Amino acid sequence: MTGTRDSADSPAPALPPDAVRQLLVRVLERPAPEGARLVVRGWLDQLREAMTRWEARGSADALHDVRVAVRRLRAVQAALAPLLTGSTPGRVRRALRRVARATGALRTLHVQRAWLRAEVEGLAPPVRLEAEALVAALDEAVPRARRRAARALSRAQEALAGWEERLDTMPVRLRVGRPTIGAPYARALSMAIAAERERLAEALDTLANGAGTEPPLATEHALRVLFKGQRALLAAAATADRAVAGWHEAATRGQELLGAVRDAALLARRARAAGADGVAAALDAVARAHRDAFAMGFVERRGEVLAAFDGAVAWLRGAAPPVTPAGVPVEVERKYLLHALPPDAAAVPPAHITQGWLPGTALRERLRRTVRPDGTEALTRTVKLGPAAARLEVEEAVEGGLFDALWALTAAARVAKRRHTVVTDGVAWEVDDFADRTLVLAEVECEGEEAVPSPPAWLAPYIDRDVTAEPEFTNAALARPAQPPPAC
């Protein structure tokens, strides 16, 4: 799975679907190229299973599952293409594109026919006749669309044959004389998601600035496609954390609302072309209702939408650290001394962190209590070894009773601070404003020792210097004895 196979070797059997599902449980922690291949394998397995069901029964549910799997495959391939180099032949990409188009056309007909049949009884008599005529026209179009979809799926079966084997191998690059530190899939996923932030913000602003006028359909379509892509990328990790789940749910809701607008607009266009102006007017009202719902939930609350987006990106970036070839987590970071708290950081609600160190010399274990802005709490214990720029880090959650028992032993070395996390261009910058002294530090985790992001414009003017290599600025060195409670 984690090496390349020589062409002279006999073909290795494809990884069984059950094995793929087991590996996907912890996909965020896998090396990024392996994680991307695992996710593609997972959707490929689901696509082939859905294709088999559709060929056997031709049900709407099977068609839906085919479309979902194809959408996710195409989204992951497009967003994570550098991690999948050489694994996806051109004929596979073309086949998936043909399937997406053919099944999309069939799905549109199904949706339009279902809407008309559900609403026809509630329409005025003249409009009802228009709707019934449209239903008849759609009934005639469905068999042709079904045949096109069947042809696309049949051709796809041939293209997909053997793709599993290519996905089950990957190249591994080793640097001579130095340990290889690999970024996990969680980091790669966070970067792929964050790449869409500017487009998301611009599209929401465009709709907001056009309030009171007919929203541009091109912007709505671009947003719907963006939401689809975000959902597809996050599908394998949607239950990993509440931040990720929150953004996945928001993207789902956004796609559904804009999809309803599009479905109504397409059917209204068909109705007008058929001279069914009464049906078209009813559909225009449906489109307006869903557009208004999207405006209230997303455009007017775009600050909250972007905060949910940033929360998912930040959690994914911190979900799994880079690792050595032996799988040992590594923390690669840069730390900067600031002369003040930047306004952009101060505007972000902070997490309140208290941490203390158990007695020790060569080995010092850290306990941390983090109270997030939403009031939830996390308790962890951590051991770090090595130089500050790139050190081994082992961390795990700890149960409350054990934490409290160990916390009493940290009285000689504690720190309290407010952490403001600002995500810029997919990079999470953590700004710590210490509660017991005048000190502000900014930290950023890096993909490797040679991959240091440049400080963003909002932070750069506040930096005094890089203090990564200055041991006196480590949290352990900054720790102080706990202050006794004030006398009554």
Scanning 81-215, the segments in alpha helix (DSSP H) are 90-119, 125-160, 163-167, 185-194, 197-209
Q: How many residues does the chain have?
A: 488
Q: Which two tokens stand for residue 435?
A: 């509660």
Q: Which helix (H) or strand (E) holds 35?
A: helix 32-57
Between 215 and 81, residue with greater pLDDT: 81
DSSP 212-259: TSPPPHHHHHHHHHHHHHHHHHHGGGTTS-HHHHHHHHHHHHHHHHHH
Between 465 and 177, residue with greater pLDDT: 465
Contact between residue 252 and residue 234 where contact means Cβ atoms under 8 Å apart: no
- Per-residue pLDDT of 372-416, as tens digits, reads 888 888 899 988 765 554 556 677 788 999 999 999 999 999 999
Selected from 3.40.50.300, 3.50.30.50, 2.60.40.1260, 2.40.320.10, the CATH number assigned to the domain covering 323-478 reads 2.40.320.10
Tell me what the mean pLDDT of segment 271-291 comes to: 92
How many whole angstroms separate alpha carbon 129 and alpha carbon 176? 76
In the block, tokens 């509440």 appear at: 242
Break the chain into its structural domains and give their ranges.
17-168+183-312, 323-478
What average pLDDT is seen over the chain? 85
Long-range contacts of 396-402 (CB under 8 A, 24+ apart): 398/367
Q: Which fold has domain 17-168+183-312?
A: CHAD domain (1.40.20)
Pick from 132-141, 358-367, 452-461: least confident: 358-367
- Per-residue pLDDT of 188-230, as tens digits, reads 898 889 889 889 999 999 998 875 555 677 889 999 999 999 9
Contact between residue 251 and residue 234 where contact means Cβ atoms under 8 Å apart: yes
52 pLDDT more than 80: yes
Contact between residue 319 and residue 439 where contact means Cβ atoms under 8 Å apart: no
Contact between residue 150 and residue 58 where contact means Cβ atoms under 8 Å apart: no
Residue 268's pLDDT is 92
